[in-house]
Amino acid sequence: MYIQPRISINNTGLKATQQFTYLGSIISYDAKIDKEIDNRLSKASNSFGRLCKRVWKNKNLRATNKTRVYRAVVITTLLYGSESWIFYCSHTRLLERFHQRCLRTILDVHWTDYVSDVAILEQAGLPSIEAMIVKSKLRWVGHVHRMDDHRLPKIVMYSELSSGYRERGAPRKRYKDSLKRTLSACDIDVQGWSDLATDRKKLLLNLRRKG
């Protein structure tokens, strides 16, 4: 049950809101990323549309150059802040659908051509959205783990609530739940990942092999 917080500064009450934008990302009161996903898709779609005539439909440009521009401009907009996301399969499907639609436009592949999604990724020379999110998340947690203990990101990642409880049934995933799933998918020891993250060179080598 949501309880609206009451925060005051110098005896002045702050207005409570269910969502706000911080550093370009939408933060919701319920910690869900649905609004942020919609925001990222909207911004990435606008970026893609602005380059449609000049880049994607330009027959004088090679497909490799187009995909490089796509990755530098559109993908970075789409996945901004994704290293901190707690995403579900429904979010992944939305992002992958957008990714495929953009790549098929760039490569001039129509739905009547019956080309599989895997073949599109191979032709474009790009990984899936899920693979890119996994890679950014592993890099981020490694970076946070190597921070000094007094740094706020590290304190937040390793801290636990002093009070309260999780509801029965299937409660919403926490960041560490999402991280465990990511580590397992990459065949990284869940218990020993911190030792691997300490050695940055070894971690980067492992990421290159996975990515």
Domain extents in the chain: 19-126, 135-159+172-210
Q: What is the predicted pLDDT for the residue at 60?
A: 92
In percent, the amount of the chain with pLDDT more than 90 equals 42
User: Are the C-beta atoms of residues 144 and 198 closer than 8 Å to each other?
Assistant: no
Q: Are strands 25-28 and 19-22 parallel, antiparallel or unpaired?
A: antiparallel
CA distances from 178 to 81, 84, 97, 175, 188 (A): 15, 10, 21, 5, 14
User: Are the C-beta atoms of residues 22 and 80 closer than 8 Å to each other?
Assistant: no
Q: What is the predicted pLDDT for the residue at 190?
A: 80
Q: What is the predicted pLDDT for the residue at 174?
A: 80
Which of 1-10, 17-26, 153-162 has the highest average model confidence (pLDDT)?
17-26
Average pLDDT score, the chain: 86
Q: What is the pLDDT of residues 109-148, one digit of tens each?
A: 988 888 999 999 999 999 999 999 988 888 888 888 888 8
| Cβ neighbours around 107 below 10 Å, total | 17
Asked if pLDDT for residue 173 goes beyond 90, the answer is no
Q: Buried (b) or exposed (e) across 180-199, using 16+ Cβ within 10 A?
A: eebbeebebeeeebeebbee
CA distances from 183 to 11, 138, 159, 210 (A): 46, 8, 20, 11
Closest CA to 24 of 5, 44, 10: 44
